[in-house]
Amino acid sequence: MSKKLLITGFDPFGGDAINPSWEAVRLLPDRIGEYDITKLEIPTIFGAGAKKVLDIAAELKPDVIICVGQAGGRMSITPEVIGINLREARIPDNTGNQPLNTPIVADAPAAYFSTIPIRKMVEYINEEGIPASLSYSAGAFVCNDVLYTLLNHYAGTSTLAGFIHVPYLPEQAGDKFFSLPLEKICAALTAAINALD
């Protein structure tokens, strides 16, 4: 029986010309294992990024939603453990919003754990020879905004949701930062999808 996966990547932000998350997501095949895959590019905008995922998911009714984002400076592929109910932007988003110390959803829980199999994903990615480790903070910018919004929306349902941060691509990193080639990021996302039940 087939299952449905919605996977998203972000548009470029913060002065970068590309975002490895969307570059990698767009290259994934339309099917991996049991999963039919729908790929979606979302804007790096507080609220609007999450809304685009929720709108498409309301029609598609996916079994699993995995959002992917860039985390420049990280040295491995990092499935996120937790989303927190906080907006605190170090830089403006793509419409110039820069919220500080603001909840994402008023009167909602402080945090939710991701519901995708993050530990198995780390194992499967490492087995491909690609560095992966858990991350205990998705930050408080737009990636966390999307993760928290999804986890709050799907809490108590059978729809699984989670987030994977990926490092810079070589052309973004220069020699100052760690990077992974696009093929490796694609292979890591494929391994993460293979870790789904």
Smallest distance from ligand PCA to CB 186, Å: 16
186 in active site = no
Q: How many CB atoms lie within 10 A of CB 1?
A: 3
3-state secondary structure of 146: helix
Footprint of ligand PCA on residues 72-131 (CB under 6 A)? Answer: none
Smallest distance from ligand PCA to CB 111, Å: 16
Kindly tell me the burial class for residue 184, based on how many C-beta atoms sit within 10 Å of its own C-beta (0-12, 13-18, 19 or more): buried
123 in active site = no
* Binding of residue 141 to ligand PCA (CB under 6 A): yes
Report the candidate in 105, 103, 114, 124 with the shortest Cα–Cα distance to residue 155: 114
Report the candidate in 80, 83, 134 with the shortest Cα–Cα distance to residue 111: 83
* Binding of residue 19 to ligand PCA (CB under 6 A): yes
Q: Are strands 78-79 and 160-166 parallel, antiparallel or unpaired?
A: antiparallel
Number of residues that bind ligand PCA (CB under 6 A): 12
Smallest distance from ligand PCA to CB 38, Å: 19
Residues 6+ apart with CB under 8 A from 192: 66, 77, 79, 121, 124, 125, 164
85 strand-pairing partners:
none
* Binding of residue 67 to ligand PCA (CB under 6 A): no
Q: Are 36 and 5 in contact (CB under 8 A)?
A: yes
Among 139, 152, 189, 196, binds ligand PCA (CB under 6 A): 139
Q: Among the options 143, 153, 171, 183, which is catalytic?
A: 143
80 in active site = yes
* Binding of residue 135 to ligand PCA (CB under 6 A): no
Q: Among the options 34, 67, 165, 183, which is catalytic?
A: 165
Q: Applying CB under 6 A, which part among 105-113, 137-145, 176-184, 188-196 lies near ligand PCA? A: 137-145
Catalytic residues: 80, 143, 165
